[in-house]
Structure 1
């Protein structure tokens, strides 16, 4: 399979770049004793789990389908968490997960009888402190529904659970900031943690970011674990797959209305939703900030404000030219949708050998069957 003959749009996962991140994860485990479980809510493309599995300890989920996927395709430890379980959800995964983490004391009370003796039981706590760049992603924001606040906890509950989970980071690239959060949690919940077997610090710790001091993080995690006598977990998502994947698109038209817009055969609304939700412009591989030719990179959806970014180029763009929208793995493929009936990007992996492996492609039948399977007769 020849890369320049592939039809756009498509995602290309680079195995070599993925392994670079995984080697950093391996180093963190070695210096800290922490266990790492892949956050499937961020990345669920199981066709490359063969690359990831040797480095991590399992997977963690935010809903029953993710639990099943982790159990079937990843193996190792399978952690189940949901902001709101139904009884059917709990019964569906009780026999295939190793840990079940409840979001509230009421959910724990309602469903404990179903899972007791089958799984290690945990509870999510909300310490009221966090690190998040945007309020939308801040789990400690006012009126948060995520986890139990310290002043709401029944202290006796720690005698009947095995662990707790804190998820209080979002793209935290500051090791000192994270260590500060660890200290705050230790101070606030220390006597409770001393009774437990494990503590998960959730995801959002960007330890694979260039220049991140992994050894400093490892020392802090190791100290926390020894202080409270617990096995520590992190739930990396973006940290594992950051900078590994491009969304490759083609310029299909160029229009001008005071600014030039290159319309590509993709859309943030359908194929890179977080660009739209968080108003964070994408980055284009072919762009040059010093270039003389500036364009809006616009989508082909009908949403007026749907654009990837504004970028400068050394030469004028042309219809038929391909562009690589970088860092398009995390919270991207898991959010694909059929808005406007646009063609869903295919998914490929470029192996370290140079071989291009097709993981999935989508067509009209997938679009049609996602909306209805049976007609009313």
Structure 2
């Protein structure tokens, strides 16, 4: 890591991810407010965001991390937990929790998982039966994922309650039969849900179906996917609902904010390499959605433009009705060979030129954790704007990293 003199972003070769600590702290303060009002605890979901170079500004506001694999639980323990950290900055901070979850643990990794975990959550009763004794022998609280078979998700690919879902147990009688082996449950059935009413109704349905289970637990994690950082979200109503739920069943409530922790705090900065015209204006930048913003491809979405040539400009991709008979629109492509490597179509104030710098917005969540070396396209550096305005290049990637990722 090194600091760029005079905080000159234009001196950094593109592409790079740019994280803004001040924007992250803004989200952290909303999360902390929700926890203060509700009594809930918030755990960073590492599956969404695991760029540990900014964990120092997140740690004062969150209660720990939650994971989906051995590597993630180890990362959370090593970089977020202060249980073993002798750094004086962490000396007076509250103990952080490290929750471990996986869709399926293998027998050869469970012992290492338990080294790092403060709680371990099993996805199924069969996994619970296979490994509960190891956890109990180390006095590690055990949980089970519960699947209510209902959800708030607009995407079938991300819907944990999709038909034939493997994500958690749904049979109430079978869950009751193992209550003696668990102290809590995790329920993750929201995805980008910005409706308090939808969340509350869903929670009421869970209470109606599993109330006798909840009343026998010590803690309940309600997962992530709740977009409570939106400016118009009724945060106080959510807090009241969570507090009421907690008091009714006598449980500690956990939330697992991923996107909510870092929404709006990152961008992917690119440079225009080429321009063409094929009925519309075309531009090719030095990054790729398949390699660097994969969720755009998975969910068939487009990126917003946050700045051009370092001048802030908020341009949303045009809708379907705005694409027809619009020869002045610009389609921005990635540089991979995938025909559909498209950041989006835009009505820009000026035509793009080779050498222009374009920053795409909201590029923190589900980007760096999914980046890949498709086509051998250069990997974006990770750059951080610190709270004091200084710019750190946290990590660069080169050919050796590409080569080492293969064999």
From 103, 122, 144, the counterpart of 2:165? 144
Instruction: Please name the residue that 1:375 is paired with.
Output: none
Instruction: Please name the residue that 2:32 is paired with.
Output: 26
Residue 329 of structure 2 aligns to a residue whose secondary structure is strand
**How much has 1:156 moved relative to structure 2?**
2.1
288 and 46 in structure 1: CA distance in 2 versus 1, 3 angstrom threshold: closer
**Structure 2: which 5+ runs fail to align?**
82-95, 307-312, 319-325
Q: Distance in 2 between matches of 1:139 and 1:91?
A: 28
Instruction: Please name the residue that 1:157 is paired with.
Output: 178
From 322, 336, 357, the counterpart of 2:392? 357
Instruction: Please name the residue that 2:352 is paired with.
Output: 317
Instruction: Please name the residue that 2:130 is paired with.
Output: 110
Q: Distance in 2 between matches of 1:154 and 1:199?
A: 14
Instruction: Please name the residue that 2:90 is paired with.
Output: none
Q: Distance in 2 between matches of 1:61 and 1:359?
A: 23
Residue 109 of structure 2 aligns to a residue whose secondary structure is helix
TM-score (norm 2): 0.89
Instruction: Please name the residue that 1:94 is paired with.
Output: 114
- Runs of 4+ residues over 6 Å off in structure 1: 289-292
**How much has 1:292 moved relative to structure 2?**
9.1
Q: Distance in 2 between matches of 1:292 and 1:283?
A: 20
Instruction: Please name the residue that 2:53 is paired with.
Output: 47
Indicate yes or no: 2:115 matched with 1:80: no
- CA displacement 1:131-190 (0-9 Å, x = unmatched): 001111110011001000135624221122100000000011111111111111111111
Instruction: Please name the residue that 1:294 is paired with.
Output: 329
Residue pairs, 1:305-344, within 5 angstroms: 305-344=340-379
Q: Distance in 2 between matches of 1:92 and 1:303?
A: 39
Indicate yes or no: 2:298 matched with 1:277: yes
From 273, 298, 305, the counterpart of 1:252? 273
Q: Distance in 1 between matches of 2:403 and 2:207?
A: 51
Q: Is the 8 A contact 2:169 2:175 kept in 1?
A: no
Q: Distance in 2 between matches of 1:152 and 1:142?
A: 20
Residue 255 of structure 1 aligns to a residue whose secondary structure is strand
**How much has 1:229 moved relative to structure 2?**
0.3
Q: Is the 8 A contact 1:16 1:352 kept in 2?
A: yes
Q: Is the 8 A contact 2:144 2:185 kept in 1?
A: yes
Residue 251 of structure 1 aligns to a residue whose secondary structure is strand
**Structure 1: which 5+ runs fail to align?**
373-377
Report which stretch shifted further, 145-154 or 323-332. 145-154
Q: Is the 8 A contact 1:254 1:261 kept in 2?
A: yes
Report which stretch shifted further, 350-359 or 26-35. 350-359
